[in-house]
Chains A and B, each alone.
Chain A
Amino acid sequence: MNIEQSLQKAEQLLASWNKEATHPETNRLDASIAADDLRPAVTALHDAHWGYLSAITGLDLGPDSGQMEALYHFCCGAAITTLRIRLPRTNDATLPTIEDIIPPATFFERELHEMLGFKIAGAKSNERLFISDDWPEDVYPLRSDFSIEQAKPVEGRHADELPDQGVVGGNTFVIPIGPQHPALKEPGHFEFTVDGEIVTAARMRLGYAHRGIEKAAESRNWIQNLYLFERICGICSHTHAMAYSMGVEKLAQVEVPARAQAIRELVAGLERVHSHLLWLGVAAHEAGFDTLFMYSWRDRETVMNLLEQLTGNRVNYSANVLGGVKCDVGLEQANAIKDGLNYLETRIRHYLEVVTTDTMFLNRTRGIGTISYDEAEEFGLLGPTARASGLVRDIRVEAPYGAYGRFPVSSVTETNGDLEARCVVRLKELLVSCFTMRTIIDNLPEGPLTVRMPRKIPAGETISRVEAPRGELFYYIKSNGGENPARVHIRTPSLCNWVSVLEKAVGRQLADVPMLIAGMDPCFSCNDRLVTTVSHTRSGHTGDGKSGERKTWTWKELREHGIEYYNR
């Protein structure tokens, strides 16, 4: 089915509720529907297996228009259908929940509620997922008239009000994993109720690393934002920058030179190698196989050095600029990359052998956390986690972008859906990446690296999707024609994959839980980019109970406070 047929089919499916349909871009259908028609419309798309719910974007159109919008983005291959619901801009704007139709929607809906103040009717849980618990009621950070003065912490509440249930009764008690725990290198909070060693319930809480990047983007210009978005994630920084710049280039209708696109794909490939090797180490460590951890991280240094040689940076490469790339691949770099890839390929083959033959490691991965194809589809899984269950979710293949049309990759899938399959998928994917990167280096198109970009981007909205190492990365970018974006909404792959952990942990042994968490390769900093959090450490909590007043502490003051605190 090509894009046009897909969109036609979607239009037919939605015909009875569709008030107004437009095609803002060739691969997009924008259907305005009423809030009451949302559930039947979503059911129609879902029952017809028309793609999957990729993200829900909330838009505040400002006090002047007095309206808010919720956009439900469904993706099927390269085709995107957006259900657009317009509601009055009040705290009573209510949307019906769709979490019973599409389970992962619960994360998107909670985000919509906490950030923009849509009420979700019929949602199972009203607990806060992202915003801290001392955030005042009815203050929504992504509303256009939000000001930081409104965000005074509620007195008498803590940022994290998770009730510590301790021993629930009998042999059942709650094991907290996080926000600070040796298993997690980033903050997230999980509560696993265990009966002896068996997990009987799972809960989670995110938002410990909120940095308010979406909000911050609205007050920075297009170029500054590139560097801001690059810092969303320390592991897949390039894909964030690439998704953003591709979106902005689409809005500005600028064609990026072929050489720049190829280099973007090359850096993305190197980044995938570094990300998956890092993941392999973490997974091995969670399983208690530290030798594999040490070796895979040693070999990861090779690709880190290559990235540094190519771009000058090891973590936030800033290879992209709007309209192209900053770094060129010369003969020296090309040879270094080829040598590095040769070495890495032998190592990756070796690790592939280890994870499929080492009996002790297989004890911890084979048949554990098995997700069937149907479940993967139902949970809305993305990236390697979905591909391990045989579900092809790979934007590089489904909707080739940039240079992926010219230098295609093949999608690697496995059918078992257990932790072993997720190891195998990731490692095999690296072999494919290595092959593609060689092809790119050998056939690098000649030409300039950048084209000129306008400072002001024409008004419009676009969707930019990129395959990050963890899965589909979704950017919604809206411009009002100014120097700053009007709204950028980002949905990272980790957010969609959480369901796999929460659903699969129940009934398993506690010892398998860290492996299950690691199995989806979670990235907390990606999840938690959403809101301006005025945290306790930044606000002036002096320990004497006066939580009302706030100030920003300098490093010196903080240090003196620390010394004074211990002298008391």
Chain B
Amino acid sequence: MNILTSLISSLIFPAGLTLIVVGMLYEWVDRKLVARFQNRVGPRWFQPFADVVKLFAKEQITPGIVNPILFFGLPIVAISGALTAALYVPLIGMAPVHSFPGDLIVTIYLLSLLTMCTGLAGWNTSSRFSLIGATRTLTQLFAYEAPFLLALLGPALAAGSWQIGMINAFASDHLIALSQPVGFIVALIGLMGKLELPPFDAPEAETEIVAGALTEYSGRGLAMFKIGKSIELIVGITLVSAFYLGGLHGVLPFLAKTLAVLFLMTILQTLLTRLRIDQTVGLWWRFGAILVLAQILFTILLKGYLL
């Protein structure tokens, strides 16, 4: 019985299938809001689903000089990484499916797996657009990863735990976005970097390098990367809003808080111009990392001496 519930909770609800559906709905909200801000009509609610269904039905073209194991394996690794990461976060306001002390670090690295796979996939196809895209993806990873991790560490330090469930519980009593505003902003913008949303979309800047690392992907492979992205979107938003916006307990607070974060992200996407890759790296290391380090230092001092 235990195995059965465990399977259901991992594969169907709240992780697994439900997650994919919710992820795509959030992707739609993102696209629709950006479209409305840009004075466009935007897609209908089922567009992300239609895209994925269409891609699955299409032929997958395999370039001649790829390593086939990597070419077919990478999308699967990417999507499973994202799906596994989802097991440790309070999806839909419910307790995480799995939990152990230190799962925060595991989750963050599972989320990075998708980016790594994208980079590897670009390198593997050896198209010149993919190569440049892959280089940029990985360069960007090194830029935002540390500040993003530090930004999530702030609430963890405050809660005195590395377990997402515990931090979530601690956050319900404290609105950490107020006590650590810098961390919140860095986490939000770091999440946009992770998802390669504008202004951090240099790795897939279509006016320069077509579709970046995924240029050579089509059909199933591309669909899996796309699904992985949607999952990462929802998992990332869940993490940030659980840590900074007073925890996630119950469906309604979950919807309200995650959609608020998404709304903020769409506004930033609309307002900002794409950064060149050197500008992205400069931004993160010159401002992001230093600011969030100061914030953490402040948190440690505050906790050590005052509490």
Contacts and interface: CB of A to CB of B under 8 A. Distances in A.
A225 to B, nearest CB: 37
Contact of B205 (A175, A177, A288): A288
A176 interface: yes
- Per DSSP, are chain B's interface residues mostly helix, strand or loop, or mixed? helix
A513 interface: yes
A291 B37 contact: yes
B279 interface: yes
A424 to B, nearest CB: 16
Contacts of B208: 177, 183, 510-511, 513-514
Chain B CB within 10 Å, residue with most, of A176, A295, A363: A363
B128 interface: yes
Interface string B98-142: 000000000000000000000000000000110110010000000
B6 interface: no
B273 A512 contact: no
B272 A360 contact: yes
B201 to A, nearest CB: 7
Contact of A183 (B128, B207, B276): B207
Contact of A291 (B38, B206, B207, B209): B38
Interface string A507-524: 001111110000000000
B275 A510 contact: no
A59 interface: no
Interface in B134-180: 135
Contacts of A512: 276
Chain B CB within 10 Å, residue with most, of A183, A197, A286, A295: A197
Contacts of A285: 207
Contacts of B38: 290-291, 294-295
A17 interface: no
Interface residues of B, number: 29
B273 A360 contact: yes
Nearest to A166: B128
A93 to B, nearest CB: 42
A288 B210 contact: no
B206 A363 contact: no
Nearest to B199: A360
A358 B273 contact: yes
A367 to B, nearest CB: 13
B249 interface: no
B190 interface: no
Contacts of B272: 289, 360
A288 B39 contact: no
Contacts of A173: 128, 131
Contacts of B201: 288
Contacts of B205: 288, 511
Contacts of A291: 37-38, 270-271
A511 B277 contact: yes
Nearest to B283: A363
B210 A289 contact: no
B16 interface: no
Contact of B202 (A176, A290, A511, A513): A511
B207 A286 contact: yes
A182 B207 contact: yes
A200 to B, nearest CB: 14
Contact of B128 (A174, A290, A294, A509): A174
A538 interface: no
A514 B37 contact: no
B14 interface: no
A195 to B, nearest CB: 12
Contacts of B207: 182-183, 285-286, 288, 514
A295 B274 contact: no
Contact of B273 (A197, A363, A513): A363
Contacts of B131: 173
A361 B198 CA distance: 13
B241 to A, nearest CB: 25
B202 A175 contact: no
A364 interface: yes
A181 interface: yes
A166 B277 CA distance: 23
B131 to A, nearest CB: 7
Given A295-B39, A510-B132, A182 B210 contact: yes
B58 to A, nearest CB: 14
A158 interface: no
B278 interface: yes
Given A175-B209, A511-B202, A288 B274 contact: yes
Nearest to B272: A360
Contacts of B279: 363
A288 B273 contact: yes
Contacts of A194: 132
B40 interface: yes
Contacts of A181: 210
A503 B91 CA distance: 54
Interface string B6-47: 000000000000000000000000000000011110000000
Interface of A: 166, 173-177, 181-183, 194, 196-197, 284-291, 294-295, 298, 358, 360-361, 363-364, 509-514
12 contacts: A173-B131, A176-B128, A182-B210, A194-B132, A196-B135, A285-B207, A288-B205, A289-B274, A358-B273, A360-B199, A361-B273, A514-B207
Given A291-B37, A360-B272, A509-B276, 16 more contacts: A166-B128, A175-B128, A175-B129, A194-B132, A196-B135, A285-B207, A288-B201, A295-B39, A358-B273, A360-B275, A509-B277, A509-B278, A511-B276, A512-B276, A513-B208, A514-B207
